[in-house]
Structure 1
Amino acid sequence: MSDAPPGPSPTESPELPDRLDDEAILLVGHGSRREKSNEQVRELAVMLEERLGIPVDAGFLELAEPAIPEALGGLVPSVSQVTVVQLSLFAASHVKNDVPLAVDQARTDHPEATFHVGGHLGVHPALVDLLDDRAAAVEAELGVDRSCDDVAVALCARGSSDPDANADVHKLARLLHEGREFTRVDPTFIGVTEPTLSETLHRTAKSRPDAVVVLPYMLGDGVLTGRIRDGADEFDADYPYVDAAAGDPLGTDDRLLDTLGDRWQAARTDSVEMSCDTCKYKVELDGYERDVGGARAQLRALTHLETHADREDVDDDPHVHDHPDKHVAVCTNTTCAADGAPAVLERLRQGVRDSDACDARVTRTSCLGRCGDGPIVAVYPDGVWYGDVDPEDAERVVGDHLDRDRIVSDLVDGTL
Structure 2
Amino acid sequence: MTADATSTPVSLDDEAVLLVGHGSRREKSNEQVRELAADLEGRLGVPVDAGFLELAEPDIADAIGGLAASVSRVTLVQLSLFAASHVKNDVPLAVQQARDAHDDLTVHNGAHLGVHPALVDLLDDRARAVETELGVDRDDDDVAVVLCARGSSDPDANSDAHKLARLLYEGREFARVDTAFVGVTEPLLEDALHGVAKSRPDAVVVLPYMLGDGVLTGRIRDGADEFHAEYPYVDAAAGDPLGTDPRILDVLGDRWQEARTDSVDMSCDTCKYKVELDGYEADVGGARAMLRALTHQETHADRDDVDDDPHVHDAPEKHVAVCTNQTCAADGAPAVLEGLRQAARDSEECDARITRSSCLGRCGDGPMVAVYPDGVWYGDVDGDDADRIVSSHLDRDRIVSDLVDQTL
TM value normalised by structure 1 = 0.94
Q: 1:22 Cα shift? A: 1.2
SS at 1:347 equivalent: helix
Equivalent residue number for residue 163 of structure 2: 171
- Name whichever of 52-61 and 326-335 sits farther off: 326-335
Q: Which amino acid aligns with 2:297?
A: L
SS at match of 1:413: strand
Matched-pair contact (CA < 8 Å) for 1:352–1:360 = yes
Question: Quick check: 1:152 aligned with 2:144?
Answer: yes
TM-score by length of 2: 0.96
Task: Confirm or deny that 1:112 pairs with 2:116.
Answer: no
Aligned to 2:344: 352
Q: Are 1:352 and 1:398, in contact at CA under 8 Å, matched by a contact in 2?
A: yes
Instruction: Tell me the CA shift for residue 112 of structure 1.
Output: 1.0
What do residues 130-189 of structure 1 show as CA deviations (whole Å, max 9, x unaligned)? 000001111111111111011111100000000000000000000000011111100110
Q: Distance in 2 between matches of 1:260 and 1:211?
A: 33
2:360 corresponds to 1:368? yes
Q: Is the 8 A contact 1:330 1:376 kept in 2?
A: yes
Residue 23 of structure 2 contacts residue 56 of structure 2 at CA under 8 Å; is this kept in 1? yes
Question: Are the aligned partners of 2:20 and 2:78 in contact in 1 as well (CA < 8 Å)?
Answer: yes
* Residues 16 and 268, structure 1, Cα contact 8 Å, conserved in 2: no
Conserved in 2, the CA contact under 8 Å of 1:17 and 1:81? Answer: no
Residue of structure 1 in register with 2:302 after alignment = 310
**Cα offset, 1:359, TM superposition:** 2.0
Given the alignment of the two structures, is residue 58 of structure 1 paired with residue 50 of structure 2, yes or no?
Answer: yes
Deviation at 1:16, TM superposition (A): 6.7
**Cα distance between partner residues in 2 of 1:350 and 1:201:** 55
Ranges in structure 1 where 5+ consecutive residues have no aligned partner: 1-14
Matches within 5 A, 1:129-278: 129-278=121-270
Deviates further, 72-81 or 215-224: 72-81
SS at match of 1:31: coil
How far 1:100 moved relative to its partner? 1.0
Aligned to 2:5: none
2:320 to 322, 325, 328: 328
> Displacement of 1:17 after TM fit?
5.0
Name the residue aligned to 2:78.
86
Paired residue type of 2:227:
F
Deviation, 1:341, is: 2.2
Counterpart selection for 1:338 from 330, 338, 351: 330
Equivalent residues of 2:10, 2:261 under 8 A apart = no
Structure 2 distance, partners of 1:139, 1:275, is 34
Structure 1 residues 215-253: Cα deviation after superposition (integer angstroms, max 9, x where no partner): 000000111011101101111111111111111000000
Distance, in Å, in 2 between the alignment partners of 1:200 and 1:236 is 13
Tell me, yes or no, if the aligned pair for 2:322 and 2:369 is still in contact at 8 Å: yes
SS for the counterpart of 1:328 is: strand
Aligned residue in 2 for 1:42: 34
- Give yes or no for contact 2:148–2:179 (8 Å, CA) kept in 1: yes
Alpha-carbon distance in structure 2 between the residues aligned to 1:112 and 1:124: 34
Amino acid at match of 2:68: V
Q: State the Cα deviation string for residues 312-347 of structure 1 (Å, max 9, x = none).
A: 232111110101221111122233233332232222
Match of 1:289 in 2: 281
- Separation (CA, whole Å) in 2 of partners of 1:76 and 1:35: 26
- AA partner of residue 239 (structure 1): Y
State the Cα deviation string for residues 277-334 of structure 1 (Å, max 9, x = none). Answer: 1111111000000100111111111111122101123211111010122111112223
Tell me how far apart the structure 2 counterparts of residues 114 and 250 of structure 1 sit (CA, whole Å): 31
Q: Which moved more, 1:67-76 or 1:258-267?
A: 67-76
Query: Matched residue of 1:27: which SS?
Result: strand
Which residue does the alignment assign to 1:5?
Answer: none
TM-aligned CA deviation for residue 98 of structure 1: 1.0
- Tell me the number of residue pairs that the alignment of Structure 1 and Structure 2 aligns: 401
Structure 2: gaps (5+ residues): 1-7
- From 372, 378, 382, the counterpart of 1:390: 382
Query: 1:6 corresponds to which residue?
Result: none
Residue of structure 2 equivalent to 1:279: 271
Task: Name the CA distance, whole Å, in 2 between partners of 1:48 and 1:253.
Answer: 11
Cα displacement (A) at 1:202: 0.8
- Tell me the amino acid that sits aligned with residue 385 of structure 2: D
Matches of 1:229 and 1:414 in 2, distance apart? 49
Q: How many percent identity over aligned positions?
A: 82
CA distance in 1, matches of 2:252, 2:397: 47
User: 2-side partners of 1:33 and 1:183: how far apart?
Assistant: 39
Secondary structure at the counterpart of residue 21 of structure 1: coil
Q: What is the root-mean-square deviation of aligned Cα atoms in Å?
A: 1.3
Structure 2 equivalent of residue 377 of structure 1 = 369
User: What corresponds to 2:95 in structure 1?
Assistant: 103
Q: Is the 8 A contact 1:16 1:269 kept in 2?
A: no
Provide the C-alpha distance between the structure 1 equivalents of 2:185 and 2:112, rounded to a whole number of angstroms. 20
| One-letter amino acid of the counterpart of residue 257, structure 2 | Q
Alignment check: 8 A CA contact 1:314 1:320 kept: no
Q: Equivalents in 2 of 1:17, 1:67: separation in Å?
A: 27
Amino acid in the other structure paired with 1:133: D
